[in-house]
């Protein structure tokens, strides 16, 4: 069976840079930092006291108050971005074959806030088990797509992928494969995360993953900079509607871009540290290129994993140079995590959205806070330092990797009918 073409026809975003696709892109293109002092809780005793929080988000715009109380914040974000994307796609919900519509989501942690609150309340009590009846549904990661499908009556594939910071990319690849092999016509995919909690900040502080630049939080996420000291925790989510090409054309849908490939691999090396030679990253990028049926010289822009950690950043660049050879000097790279922070399981979703918007606008968003390049890195490479760069963009590759050695790459293409 010949694989079917897969296009992107709807977008939604709730991010530290804004709660719509337009606001998100404005922030990215202008090089805005989403980092702020933490407001979710009193962080005064924590080593890290800032994060890339979502701002001015009102769940009641998308969910009835009674229903919202049954959900964790990461589910609120999922419902919001799904509604935005559905409206953007312009479906006729009366004629849409919902048996052929699915929701495949990514979340690395799920309802961490709900888990923390219930455990803390129990520990403060007298030992009598008094738990919220919605505790488990609020906590488990699969309820984000579950709530979306229930609201809209989507009867196709429905589940969550969990692969740490590669979760959303894995979800997008699964959605892509279901459509191109004829298992669905439309799939809402992406991811959401809401881990800016005492447990989230404290846990990442404990394993020394977070930046502690409290006096300069807006410049704390600095991928590839010689003085980077860890990532900045982010939150939010994004939704991309993947649709079979003929199905989209028949209904006259606007098409943002085409997805043409995906690759994944394992480092098989360490629970948190990347492979020192970037072996797994090399494999997943090579697999994505092969899946897309293109040679490395076709890629114009790589949205890198680029978390701003001392160990992780150089390994990815080494892998890029090995896969792309001389062409590595002709393409742009940038880490949008320098602006959004690291959204963990939702990172791949907001970064896939950044890639689609880069194609749409023929503009590469920058790596901000790149003051002095790490001497380990080749200064002849273009890291799109501090300012967006206009260029011809036909193909974009997006990387995300997760604790446990999970590696993923996506490839998007400028749409041509």
Query: Looking at the annotation, which residues are catalytic?
Result: 165, 305, 342
Distances (CA, A) of 171 to 161, 189, 392: 6, 6, 28
What DSSP state is assigned to residue 252? T
Contacts of 116 (CB under 8 A, 6+ apart): 197, 198, 199
76, two tokens: 């609120």
263, two tokens: 């690759």
Contacts of 120 (CB under 8 A, 6+ apart): none
H or E stretch covering 12: strand 6-14
Distances (CA, A) of 359 to 304, 319, 363: 16, 24, 7
- For 178-256, where are the E strands, in sequence order? 186-193, 236-244
Please choose, from the candidates 271, 255, 154, 150, the residue with its C-alpha nearest in 3D space to the C-alpha of residue 209.
271
| Partners of residue 187 on adjacent β-strands | 102, 242
What DSSP state is assigned to residue 3? P
Please choose, from the candidates 126, 327, 306, the residue with its C-alpha nearest in 3D space to the C-alpha of residue 223.
306
Angle subtended by helix axes 143-152 and 73-89, to nearest 10: 40
Q: State how far the Cα of 372 lies from the Cα of 334, in Å rounded to an integer.
A: 15
Q: Exposed, middle or buried, 351 (CB in 10 Å: 0-12/13-18/19+)?
A: buried
Where helices occur in 153-195 by DSSP H, the ranges are 167-180
Q: State how far the Cα of 133 lies from the Cα of 401, in Å rounded to an integer.
A: 35
The total number of residues written for the chain in this structure: 417
Contacts of 215 (CB under 8 A, 6+ apart): none
Q: In what order do the strands lie in the sheet with 101-106?
A: 158-161, 101-106, 186-193, 236-244, 6-14, 257-266, 406-413, 395-402, 301-303, 332-334
The whole-angstrom distance between residue 254's C-alpha and the CA centroid of its chain comes to 23
């Amino acid at each position: 069976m010949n694989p079917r073409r897969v296009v992107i026809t709807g977008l939604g975003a709730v991010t530290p840079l804004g709660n719509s696709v337009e606001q998100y892109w404005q922030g990215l293109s202008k090089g805005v930092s989403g980092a702020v002092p933490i407001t979710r809780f009193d962080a005064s005793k924590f080593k890290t006291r800032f994060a890339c929080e979502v701002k001015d988000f009102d769940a009641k715009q998308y969910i009835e108050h009674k229903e919202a109380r049954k959900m964790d914040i990461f589910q609120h974000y999922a419902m919001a971005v799904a509604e935005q994307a559905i409206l953007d796609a312009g479906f006729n919900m009366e004629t849409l074959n919902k048996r052929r519509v699915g929701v495949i989501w990514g979340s690395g942690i799920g309802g961490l806030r709900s888990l923390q609150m219930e455990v803390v309340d129990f520990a403060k009590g007298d030992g009598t088990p008094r738990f919220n009846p919605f505790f488990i549904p609020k906590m488990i990661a699969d309820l984000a797509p579950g709530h979306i499908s229930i609201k809209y009556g989507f009867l196709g594939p429905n589940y969550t992928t969990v692969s740490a910071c590669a979760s959303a990319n894995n979800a997008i690849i699964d959605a892509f494969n279901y459509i191109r092999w004829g298992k669905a016509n439309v799939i809402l995919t992406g991811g959401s995360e809401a881990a800016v909690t005492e447990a989230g900040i404290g846990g990442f502080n404990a394993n020394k993953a977070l930046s502690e630049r409290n006096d300069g939080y807006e410049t704390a996420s600095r991928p590839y900079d010689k003085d980077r000291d860890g990532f900045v925790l982010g939150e939010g989510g994004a939704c991309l509607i993947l649709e079979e090409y003929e199905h989209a054309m028949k209904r006259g849908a606007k098409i943002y871009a085409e997805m043409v490939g995906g690759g994944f691999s394992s480092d098989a090396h360490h629970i948190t540290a990347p492979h020192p030679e970037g072996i797994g990253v090399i494999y997943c990028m090579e697999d994505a290129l092969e899946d897309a049926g293109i040679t490395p010289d076709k890629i114009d822009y790589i949205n890198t994993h680029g978390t701003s950690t001392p160990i992780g950043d150089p390994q990815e660049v080494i892998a890029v140079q090995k896969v792309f050879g001389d062409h590595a000097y002709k393409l742009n790279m940038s880490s949008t995590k320098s602006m959004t922070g690291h959204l963990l399981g939702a990172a791949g979703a907001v970064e896939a959205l950044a890639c689609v918007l880069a194609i749409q606008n023929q503009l590469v968003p920058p790596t901000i806070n790149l003051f002095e390049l790490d001497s380990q890195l080749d200064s002849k490479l273009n890291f799109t330092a501090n300012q967006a760069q206009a260029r011809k963009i036909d193909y974009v590759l997006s990387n995300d990797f997760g604790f446990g050695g999970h590696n993923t790459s996506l490839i998007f293409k400028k749409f041509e009918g």
